[in-house]
Structure 1
C-alpha cells in the first residue's frame, strides 16, 4: 500500500506533463495555421550554436515570404524534388517508406523517406538529429499539422523555413543571397536549382553549383514537366496556376 501511495503522485505528475505538452503543442499548431512563425526551432538551434562558437553575425539569414509572392515554379520544383505525393498522402509516404525498407533489407543504405510534412514538423518545432525521441515527436507534430493545416499552408511554411544554404533559411533569403533578387522574380531554371540543393544545402551549393547539383536541377525541371507543370499545384486547393 505504501509503495502504491508513493507511485501515485509520480504517475499523476507524468500525466500532467503529458497533458500539458499535448495541449501546448496543439495550441502552437493552431496558432501557426494563421500566424506566420518568426523562425523555427532549427534556426534557433543554429543561431545559438553559431553565437557560442564565435561566428560572425548575422548567424541566420531569413525572410518570410507570403504564399502569393512565391512563384508557382518554385513551389512546384520543391514538390518535384522532395515529395511528389505530397497532395495525396496524410503526412507519411508509405510507398517511399516501403521502398526504403526493401533497399535496406537488400543490403543498401537506409535512406530517409521524410515527407515535406515531416520536414516541416521537425524544422519548425524540434531539433536536428536522429534520436528516437525526436522521431516520435516528429510523428506527433506531423499528425497535428496535417490535421489543422491545409496542404497549401504546410508547403508555405516549409518553403519559408527549409535550409537552402549555410545560415540561409527560406526561399526569400536564399533568393536575395544567391540570386540578388526577390523570390517573386525567380523562374524556370533557378527554381529547379533552388530545389536541387535541398537534400544537403551545406554541401550542395547555390553560389557555386557543382555538376552534380546542375544535373539534379535538370532532372527536377524534367519532373516538373512530367507532373503537368504548375497546374499540379491545383491539387493543393491553392491559388497558383
Structure 2
C-alpha cells in the first residue's frame, strides 16, 4: 500500500513513516496544503492521512477539492482538534474517518483497513489465485499450507499484480506502488524485485506466472 501523509510536524511525520514502514506501507510525506493538493491529484495513493493545522491553511480544505475532481481516495483526518464539533466538521467535508491525537498505531492501521474495504472495486481481504492465497490485511502469502517468505518490496509488487491479475500493469504504476517520492530508484531495481518474486512463485509451484511485456510492464496470470 502507498499512502500520502500530510503533516507539518517533522517528528510526528517521521514517527508515523517509521511505524507504517514496519507494516509494509510506503509513505509519501508533504508538509503543506499546496503540496498535498499537487501530490493527491496524481492519484497514486491508496489513502491520505491528513493533519488539519498546516502552515498554509486548514487541511480539511483538501477534501472537497479532491471530491470536486472526482477523486474518491479515502481520507483519515489526524489532528489534535478532536472535540465533537471538529469531528463533525471533518466528516461533513467528505473525510472518511477522523482520529484524534495521540493515537495508537494499531488503531490507525485498523481504520486504514476499514476504509480500504469500503469501495466496491477493492479486492476482498483474502484472494485466491492459482495455488496462492494472499491475505491483504495481514500481508501474508501462502501456497498450500506454506507461507512464502517475501521482503517488503516483493510483497508490494505481488499485491499490485494480484489486484490486476490478467491485465498488464505498466512499469510506472508498479514503481509508484513500491517506491515513495524520496526513494532513489536504481535503473534495474524493479526488475530485480520482479525476478526474485517470479522465481519464488515458481519454486513454490504457486500456479502463477509473471510475464514481462516489453516496453510496457508486467502481467501476472495463471500458469498453464
Which structure's residues are more often strand, by fraction? 2
Larger radius of gyration: 1
- TM-score bracket for this pair, using the shorter chain length: 0.3 to 0.5
Which structure's residues are more often helix, by fraction? 1
TM-score by length of 2: 0.35
Which structure's relative contact order is higher, taking Cα pairs within 8 Å and 6+ residues apart?
A: 1
